[in-house]
Chain A
Amino acid sequence: MTQNNRLSGGQIDRNTTVNFRFDNRNYTAHPGDTLASALLANDVRLIGRSFKYHRPRGLLTAGSEEPNGIVELRSGNRQEPNTRATTTEMFDGLEAQSQNRWPSLKFDALGVNDLFSNFLSAGFYYKTFMWPTAFWEKVYEPIIRRAAGLGSLSMEADPDEYDKGFRHCDLLIIGAGPSGLMAALTAGRAGADVILADEDFRFGGRLNSETFSVGDQSANDWAAQAVAELSSMPNVRLMARTTVIGAFDHGIYGAVERTGDHVATLPAGKPRQILWRIYTKKALLCAGSTERPIAFENNDRPGIMMASALRTYANRFAATASQRVAIFTNNDDGHRTAADLHAKGVHICAVIDVRKDAPVNYDYEVLSGAQVVNTKGRLGLTFVEVALPDGSTRTLECGALGVSGGWNPNVHLTCHQRGRPVWNDDLAAFVPGSNLPVGLSVAGAANGLMSTYGALQSGAEGAAAALELKDVRPDLPEAEDTPIAQKPFWYVEGCKRAWLDQQNDVTVKDVKLSYQEGFRSVEHLKRYTTLGMATDQGKTSNISALAIMAEVAGKTIPETGTTIFRPPYTPVPISTFAGRMKGQEFHPTRLTPSHYWAKERGAVFVEVGNWLRAQWFPLPGETHWRESVDREVRQTRASVGVCDCTTLGKIDVQGADAADFLNRVYANGFAKLAVRKTRYGLMLREDGMVMDDGTAARLAEDHFVVTTTTANAVNVYRHMEFVRQCLFPDMDVQLISTTESWAQYAVAGPNSRKLLQKIVDPEFDISNDAFPFMGCGNITVCGGLRARLFRISFSGELAFEIAVPSRYGDALMRRLMADGEDFDVVPYGTEALGVMRIEKGHAAGNELNGTTTALNLGLGKMVSKKKDSIGSTLSEREALVEPDVLRLVGIKPVSPEEKVTAGGHLMNTAGPVDAAHDQGYVTSAAYSPILNSNIGLGLLKDGANRMGEKMRLVSPLTDLTVEVEIVSAHFVDPEGERLRA
């Protein structure tokens, strides 16, 4: 197809022709085009279908405020819905599809919605789909979702990389139009660290769209020269294709850089987009302004566009929507578009100016005091109907109509910290208020300075003020300095369907209707009509809607108020927020020193927090995990097993007051713990609930090693630092986490001592007399390697935990396996560990669930009343010490093969099964290969006094009822003889 609507000039590279596809048809374009300008050049006006009524729509704007020209980019797993054709940079091989049409853009079956528009007015969801309730989820919602669709998802994982980064600067300049460029030149020449960011791929802003001159150059040449000078400054960083999406606390800005959206194939390893966090000392908003439309009957046909957009397409992109153009305006800026298009050889049918004193022109007709009252053209504009001041109407034949209702400063970022813009009567627009984000100031059109010279001057002054530069008087070039007077003209009276928010299909009538129905606040108006709630966030519609609301309410616009602008300024793909945090990289993975050994052994791993722990070690021939786990338990209890417990939190506590400190953080006493002894420690929260448990080993008078559960390692350390720094600041005690410094292994079973004796250096006696239960000490192993040995047991067997510096963990594990062959040693994972601790009746994470007290867990006597410790006072609250509080019990099914289900509830054998009769619940369950029975631990009301009682274990959700018996939680070796062997 040829580019019929291509004009002369423009900032495109005509020497290169690129190919692109839209809706499966091939077209050509030039580098420097956007998808939107290329489509116009190819005489394509129809781009999409509207959200609700499926009305044919084309482009409205030439920038990121675009409500209509929304397309799907790329295909397959790279397909991206809801992107704006107006900001999509052209490249060879670009692929795009229109959205929200079926079966085709030209014939859309759901176009019938338009005929039923009377039923689809403001609030139609709330009014229509109310009854019956059950219909909402099953009938209405799926239909609405399909009909009112935006783009579609590929339903495949996005294969591209996205990244995040951090940058710092003295001055962030947001927008590289005349004010932004002049600000950057001023700041850059003064030597400041400057970042200049613009969402466009070409710097210059409106300078690229205008025909007037700056100094003795054309506007866009001046911009190009400014960019060249800035590029040569090492202290200035230019970030093109970068949208500053939000102003956050303390001078931090979010920005999205589209690093890979303008190339056909991403270079290997390069991200598609980068989310930047920019730390600024000062920031200057030079975001320019956005032209606002006038609403009139059928003002949404393809070909009806903003007048400034027509000018941008003609001057910058050398493209026009049609060879016959009319302009509808209430201000002088609309005439500028007519003059520029006329100069490019486009036929101007007429300029329709609502003002009676419109400026005259001898090149084309100007209709003063006239208004557009209707338009025609099913898939694109063909005729415009104009009401003349004498009451007659006239029909103009044209393919495009440029509309100009004045300009709104882009104040969005000034509102991100809840600042409110203020109404300026001269401009008939909102300008930034005084309550700006810290460090932010505003220059140029964004601050209501609408002339080019005003922008240049305020940019220079804004940069100088922000950086407190003295005596800086930049040489400002001469430029257009037309005073701006805007008299508002929001809509043409008497319209049936005049569109305000074209992306969400909201009309002038909808706004009036919502007011009539009682929605008086702008926030309610917004939500009831959905105005401004589409992906364009109402950039071209909010102010007009507000003005109409003010009018029907008989109030002024400032009295009516505005809705608040929130980040992001333009839509950001979720992938960009995720960055590299996806799949395996969602969080860091921590591996223990013997991880690769476990992997060699074929271990199955489980995620515990960020750690990977071996869950069990299947042997060839084992087909079910239970076979492996049962074997690991049996072999450990029969001889010896080794388990990696490196992941337990380890905290080194040192200082003259170390014992005293532990006395405060643990509920039980530590002051009298002898050196070379270990004690179980129970830690409460200040509210009296159990926080964590572990052991504290006293290696010296002033040196303890504390362990925590794997899950709570971070929280416990934080808590202990809180107690040390905030509660007892003068205690002589220091803490450091040594979790990753030591590799630690549990060696458990009747042969554990014999195995350890093979590796512990002979000068260390670890016999029962010399190293009794709960003993600990510094030793050496394997001929001089420093190690720590603790005689503690989680399994209930004779057991030790041995720790060596992390780098020896792998070697120690291999040595234990080799030396243990004589004893048929078995490595065991977290499942066998869990089975053995349930058999022994030890509480663990399932029981320390944040709602249990020491009393609940059968450890009430541990809470010392002779000293001050965290949580001891509140643990005595009445409700926590009532006689029938939950107590930890063992649970055994009457038929051993019946399953005990964790989470199941305990009910009396007779009586109703409901919450009112609940007696308790199961916290942990396992199959015990030692007892040949399923078993469980649970919390039961008054459980200590209910041994031997038969109960029902129920799970109403899964229809489960099992008869169980309440037994002691200590299923194995209740007297603890094995521990002490």
Chain B
Amino acid sequence: MIINHPLLGPRDSSEFTYLGDATLINRPDWQAEDAAEAFYEYGYVRDNPAGKHQELWFHEAGDRSWLVVTRDTTTHEISKVELARDVARARGRSK
């Protein structure tokens, strides 16, 4: 596969390591009432879609960017590649 890195252009997938579902960005608030339940869901409960899937890839043999790659799990078509940091900020994460 080829991942079109937003900073570096098309790179072979062998330069990357795969982590998983990009919902891992949505880490719950540790002080929330339901923190235990929320962390359990965050850690263990995932969708397994046949189709478009947002997932985290790390450019380990490259610039060490974490990327959010939108990939169709049935065709491997990649429709979007974003810096995970930008995605995290867009989802309201900060410090």
Contacts and interface: CB of A to CB of B under 8 A. Distances in A.
B1 A725 contact: no
B2 A721 contact: no
Interface in A463-512: none
Nearest to A657: B95
A165 to B, nearest CB: 13
A729 B36 contact: no
B80 to A, nearest CB: 15
B75 A417 contact: yes
Interface stretch (A340-348, A837-845, A871-879): A871-879
Given A250-B1, A872-B30, A730 B25 contact: no
B94 A722 contact: no
A411 interface: no
Give the size category of A's interface with B: 20 to 34
Interface string A712-724: 0010001001100
Interface string B77-95: 1100001111111000111
Contacts of B65: 725
Given A249-B76, A250-B1, A877-B36, A718 B60 contact: yes
B35 A873 contact: yes
Interface string B53-81: 00010101000111000000001111000
Contact of B88 (A714, A725, A873): A725
A794 interface: no
Interface in A698-736: 714, 718, 721-722, 725-731
B46 interface: no
Interface string B18-62: 010000110110110001100110110000000000001010100
A686 interface: yes
B37 to A, nearest CB: 10
Nearest to B78: A250
Contacts of B19: 722
Contact of B66 (A279, A722, A872): A722
Contacts of A730: 89, 93-95
Interface string A271-284: 00000000100000
Nearest to B38: A873
A279 B2 contact: yes
A727 B93 contact: yes
A438 interface: yes
A250 B95 CA distance: 37
B88 A726 contact: yes
B39 A874 contact: yes
A551 interface: no
A721 B56 CA distance: 12
B75 to A, nearest CB: 7
Contacts of A718: 17, 58, 60
Given A728-B94, A730-B89, A876 B58 contact: no
A520 B24 CA distance: 45
A250 B71 CA distance: 12
Nearest to B66: A725
A340 B81 CA distance: 59
Contacts of B1: 249-250, 252
A725 B84 contact: yes
Interface string A867-911: 010001110110000000000000000000000000000000000
A873 B39 contact: yes
A265 to B, nearest CB: 34
Interface in A674-689: 686-687
Interface string A929-942: 00000000000000
A731 B95 CA distance: 5
18 contacts: A249-B1, A250-B2, A251-B2, A252-B2, A657-B95, A660-B95, A721-B64, A725-B85, A725-B88, A726-B24, A726-B85, A726-B87, A727-B25, A728-B93, A730-B89, A872-B30, A873-B36, A876-B36
Interface of B: 1-2, 12, 17, 19, 24-25, 27-28, 30-31, 35-36, 39-40, 42-43, 56, 58, 60, 64-66, 75-78, 83-89, 93-95
Given A722-B56, A730-B93, 5 more contacts: A252-B2, A718-B17, A722-B19, A726-B25, A877-B36
What 6 A-B pairs come out closest when comparing CB atoms?
Answer: A730-B94, A729-B85, A868-B30, A250-B2, A729-B88, A249-B1
